[in-house]
């Protein structure tokens, strides 16, 4: 069912959806269509816009002047809804960024702890082998020196 009729009457509900941003917190990810109605303490924005459009099309200045107070309320109402949406989007974007950074950090940690750099491993093996050979040579000389003749 469409939340707004062709006349702009709201027939939806006031339900919203929250999205978890951490283990303990969530943020509202939707705005109820009822925020654009008189039920939210404002005006019915869509029917008002229809009346304004009709008055503009017919050049009815008297009808337009009667909508000025309602238009001011509607602008404030829409502005508040946009502010809530913007705040929610900022929190959600920050959560997505934090998730991406955590994923990158965990991937790097796993790579450092599990995966082997073949070139570094071969270089370390060569150095260790060389140190072992030097140690064998020195040990052989020491044994030869300490052997009774």
Segment 7-23, tens digit of pLDDT: 888 887 777 788 887 78
Cβ contacts of residue 27 below 8 Å, gap of 6+?
18, 19, 21, 88, 91, 92, 95
**Mean pLDDT of the chain, nearest integer:** 87
> Which phi and psi angles does 9 have, rounded to 5°?
-75, 135
Better pLDDT: 69 or 32 = 69
How large is the average pLDDT for residues 69-82? Answer: 93
Share of residues in the chain with pLDDT > 70 (%): 99
Which residue shows structure tokens 């229809």? 50
Res 36 pLDDT > 80: yes
């Amino acid at each position: 069912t469409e939340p707004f009729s062709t006349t702009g009457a709201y027939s939806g509900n006031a339900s919203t959806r929250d999205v978890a941003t951490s283990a303990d917190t969530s943020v509202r990810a939707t705005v109820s269509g009822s925020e654009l109605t008189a039920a939210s303490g404002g005006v019915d924005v869509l029917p008002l816009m229809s009346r304004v459009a009709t008055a503009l099309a017919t050049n009815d200045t008297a009808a337009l002047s009667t909508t000025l107070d309602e238009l001011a309320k509607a602008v404030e109402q829409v502005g508040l809804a946009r502010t809530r949406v913007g705040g929610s989007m900022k929190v959600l974007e920050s959560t997505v960024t934090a998730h991406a950074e955590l994923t990158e950090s965990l991937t790097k940690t796993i790579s450092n702890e599990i995966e082997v750099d073949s070139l570094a491993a071969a270089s370390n093996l060569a150095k260790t082998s060389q140190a072992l050979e030097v140690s064998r040579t020195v040990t052989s000389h020491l044994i030869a020196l300490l052997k009774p003749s």
